[in-house]
Amino acid sequence: MIELAPHTAVMIYLGLTLLTMLAIWLSHHFRQRKKGVVIPQQKLATCEYCGQLYLTAIEQKVSKCPTCASYNE
Ligand SMILES: [Zn+2]
């Protein structure tokens, strides 16, 4: 049987708890990194004539309003 002083047992308990929390944090951190960055393909545009909000492609300079069919820059 291994004999431990009470303060040594507390230190071992705290050390193991901190190591477990560090391992969980590290695994979560590296799992989040693998997901990468999502680049949006669309932007939110507002019609200059009727005020309608709609989605349009980012690279598209002129878009057509789906409500009033006006062209917006
Ligand atoms: Zn419109």
* pLDDT for res 54: 94
| Distance from Cα 71 to the centre of ligand 1, integer Å | 8
Domain count, the chain: 2
| Distance from Cα 61 to the centre of ligand 1, integer Å | 16
| Distance from Cα 45 to the centre of ligand 1, integer Å | 10
Residues 33 and 51 occupy one common structural domain: no
CB 48 within 8 A of CB 39: no
Rounded distance between C-alpha atoms, residue 68 and residue 66, angstroms: 6
* pLDDT for res 49: 93
Predicted confidence (pLDDT) per residue in 12-33, tens digit: 999 999 999 999 999 999 888 7
Work out the average pLDDT over 4-17. 94
| Distance from Cα 36 to the centre of ligand 1, integer Å | 36
Residues 31 and 51 occupy one common structural domain: no
Residues 49 and 68 occupy one common structural domain: yes
* pLDDT for res 50: 95
Residues 11 and 28 occupy one common structural domain: yes
| Distance from Cα 57 to the centre of ligand 1, integer Å | 16
| Domain interval for residue 55 | 42-72
* pLDDT for res 8: 94
Q: Compute the mean pLDDT over every residue in the chain, rounded to the nearest whole number.
A: 91
CB 72 within 8 A of CB 48: yes
Residues 31 and 52 occupy one common structural domain: no
